Structure 1
Amino acid sequence: MTITNEQQIDEILNRGTITEILPTKEDFKKVLLSGKKLRFYIGFDATSPTLHLSHAKNIILMEKFRKLGHEVIILFGDFTARIGDPTGQNSTRKQLSRKEVLNNVKKWKKLIEPLMNFKEKKNPPKIKYNSDWLSKMRTEDWIEIESKITVPRLLERDMFQKRISEGKPLFVHEFLYPLMQGYDSVAMDVDVEVCGTDQIFNALVGRDLMEKIKGKNKFVVAVTLMENPKTGELMSKSKGTGIFLNASPLEMYGQIMAQPDEMIEILFVNNTYLSLEEIKKIVSGNPRDAKAILAREIVKIFYGEKKAEEAENEFNKIYRDRQLPSEIEVFEIEQKKYPVLDLLCDSKLASSKKEAKRLIEGGGVTKKTKDNEEKINNWKQEILLEDNMVIQVGKKKFIKIKIKVK
């Protein structure tokens, strides 16, 4: 039997992470209250080496269902990742090699360990790979599956319609992607699929296949994408935008502090374990203070209390108190005079001389010694370097000069 405490169930369903439940929220809650053990799954295509906080909120939600006593499956789409989900894409995604995908999966498993208890013996979360069934399917198997869904049904996808109307190519492997994702539900015989709102179409294709092949219904639990309410911007692993789980404690703390004010409550609701009452009280105060609490709470989840405190202290030291970081990367040189554009590029403070020039002209480059601090304003100059001199670019980049003794 599972935990059927209505208050606990309502807290999960009404927190704000879940935006829609199909066919109905009432039916889903009724089954949860019945004590029936359900099989949940959420899928991820391992298309990049890292995950961000919008992925993390999905794992946090799945862990809540697992703690109620339900079976939870984390499905890595190692097969479908090599195809590329066309969702939200105006052009065809780059196809990945199997080696690239498996390397990404290995990193992902490590990243989600702080969010889910894989050491649980009684009801551990399960990890599956859809290559276990999709890679073994025969032509006749696919023909049988394809006979269950019509072409007009697949063409209902808005991005397919957009591609066609714009005269852009739509390849067969992309057209069939919803069938592949949909068949994952059949292969695992699941009761519930958790997905982002951008994946509802694929999840409903899976629901259709479950009904036609297994003769059973599947609930679709759609969760927020955590988009910025003002700009509509999303965290994206493929575009490299967001707060990423492979960031160091200080980097993660800083990325959260850099979030716009309108994202504070969204991140609290979806990425912390604080109650809605506590969150409401915090966000009603000063935004900077609320962000500091938020950053500490999230870093604590991934790295523990001590690392979170250290990250907060270091952040305040650098950005509030304008002091140098406790640890600065050392750049070793042999000559004391160095063309400033070369210095910034060679030390990787700038990616190109063009960027280095722009940074200097914008007043973003400073040299610091024990007794002096000075802006570098002339991009044509050679600067005289000293041992332990610090070069700072912007607010976040530092190097310490170490002159090699010949």
Structure 2
Amino acid sequence: MEKEEKKEEWIKQLKENLINPPKIKADITIEEEKKIILEKTAEVYTEHDLWKKLKKSKQTKKPLIIKYGIDPTSSGFHLGHFVFLRQLKKIQDLGHQIIFLIGDFTARIGDPSDKKAARQPLTKAQVEQNMKNYFSIVSRYIKFGEDGKKAKLAYNSRWLSKLNLEKFFPLTSTLTVSQMLERDCFSRRFKDNKPIGVNEFLYPLLQGYDSVALKADVEIGGRDQTFNMLVGRDLQKRFYNQEPQVVLTFPLLLGINGQKMSKTLKNYISLTDKPQDIYGKIMSLPDNLMKEYFLLLTDIKLDEWHSIEKAMRQGLNPMEVKKVLAEVITAQIYNPKIAEKERERFVQLFSQRKITGQKFETIKTVLPQNFLDILYEYKFIKTKMEGRRLFSQSAIKMIKEDGSQEIIKDPKYKVSQDGLSFKIGKKIFITIKK
């Protein structure tokens, strides 16, 4: 029992550390800054360029311009986007400027990356409707000041709608038809004799030109955006005499069923979902997705995750780990108090679902405390002798999250964990809370 309590205390401490991570130091070194920026990345083009840019930024006291773009092809954001919003917030906390680019022009063309068929073009009205609530969602995580020095919203229609053919045609020489057909999204369709529009070939150039217009120092995006982002790096260098942007790519988060996250498959978690829905959907994750969600959506270190895996192999219930994940993610999207309430709600509902028809009486008391004293104080037993007899008769049982029951035989047993549920005798069910 003591070993179990130590394990529970360790998990609880890990959760607290993930919900309240340490603040970034003021006197951070270039190497430390680079390490934070590269956290969670899949690929970087190039690490040396990033180091040079950070060094120059420190010397000139001029923040780097960090670009992240999204086409408003739908009206909301999901956890896949949250991977990038978390990283943008960290980079902003380092003192750099975030440009959150809304591709209101490119959304009307459609990014072909990782698509099996051509996207249906959107009208200007559809795009405007989709992006209506973007700022209110993004500003929950990124600080936008009135002067735009910390972060600003940009729309690529402001320059792409004015880009004339005289300027644009030289850029098309950057790419060849063979290069485009080598991309998976096009090669599959070409082999299957499916149509490929010329407009789709032009999309990477338009996304690349965004980096030129913004004079981006760094662009971050999913691995599926690597080609497009590298086109921007090339345009900056070859045609506009700009320092080429550093490209940071991130793994794409899988949906809650293990397939690619998609609104069509309805396997996503929206950032505007209610807290109880976010918590509940995380709890429904297959166990094999926990690692990916922990590593991409929390500040957990790889060695900490390995410790969790070891603990689960030694008997730690995966549901306990999943509750930590659900609470940490809900706390980041909303706040720690709301997340804690959702955990309590889930524990209560789950326990009651496993023991159908039983009502649990909630006991609020000081923890840790001897369980025998709690039973006596709240008049579940008339004498402590009666309580000891219940222990000896195996009539005191702790109800676990999976509905199983563990017999407590030690009359000196202390309740230290908040929210534990117990069965006393045959008819009494209680939950003990601080």
Q: With structure 1 as the length reference, what TM-score do the two structures score?
A: 0.72
Q: Deviations over 1:291-344 (max 9, x none)?
A: 1011111111121122212222222333332279xxxxxxxxxxxxxxxxxxxx
Matched, 1:160 2:160: no
Matched, 1:264 2:287: no
Task: List alignment gaps of at least 5 residues for structure 1.
Answer: 325-406
Aligned equivalents of 2:79 and 2:281: distance in 1? 11
> Counterpart amino acid of 1:114?
R
- Aligned-partner SS, 1:176: helix
Q: 1:8 to 1:149 in 2, by over 3 A?
A: closer
Aligned equivalents of 1:208 and 1:156: distance in 2? 18
Matched, 1:174 2:196: no
Identity %: 38
Aligned equivalents of 1:97 and 1:240: distance in 2? 24
Aligned equivalents of 1:2 and 1:240: distance in 2? 45
Q: 1:9 to 1:143 in 2, by over 3 A?
A: closer
Aligned equivalents of 1:116 and 1:97: distance in 2? 29
What residue number does 1:221 align with? 248
What residue number does 2:364 align with? none
Q: 1:184 to 1:177 in 2, by over 3 A?
A: same
Q: Is the 8 A contact 2:34 2:50 kept in 1?
A: no
Q: 1:12 to 1:186 in 2, by over 3 A?
A: closer
> Counterpart amino acid of 1:298?
I
Q: Is the 8 A contact 2:255 2:268 kept in 1?
A: no
Pairwise mapping of residues 107-146 of structure 1 onto structure 2 (< 5 A)? 107-119=133-145, 123-146=149-172
Q: Is the 8 A contact 2:222 2:251 kept in 1?
A: yes
> Counterpart amino acid of 2:79?
L
Q: 1:190 aligns with which of 216, 220, 226?
A: 216
> Counterpart amino acid of 1:18?
T
* Coordinate RMSD, CA, aligned: 2.7
Shift of 1:70: 1.7
What residue number does 1:31 align with? 53
Q: 1:300 to 1:20 in 2, by over 3 A?
A: same
- Aligned-partner SS, 2:350: helix
Shift of 1:248: 0.4
Aligned equivalents of 2:96 and 2:108: distance in 1? 30
How many residue pairs are counted as aligned between the two chains? 320
Q: Deviations over 1:206-239 (max 9, x none)?
A: 122111222232211111113479x962223464
Q: Is the 8 A contact 1:52 1:243 kept in 2?
A: yes
Q: With structure 2 as the length reference, what TM-score do the two structures score?
A: 0.67
Aligned equivalents of 2:201 and 2:344: distance in 1? 51
Task: List alignment gaps of at least 5 residues for structure 2.
Answer: 1-25, 358-434
Q: Is the 8 A contact 2:41 2:251 kept in 1?
A: yes
Q: Deviations over 1:230-260 (max 9, x none)?
A: x962223464322221210000001111111
Q: Is the 8 A contact 2:105 2:160 kept in 1?
A: yes
Aligned equivalents of 1:290 and 1:257: distance in 2? 10
Q: Deviations over 1:329-368 (max 9, x none)?
A: xxxxxxxxxxxxxxxxxxxxxxxxxxxxxxxxxxxxxxxx
Matched, 1:97 2:120: no
Whichever of the two has the greater Rg, that structure is 2
Q: Is the 8 A contact 1:50 1:237 kept in 2?
A: no
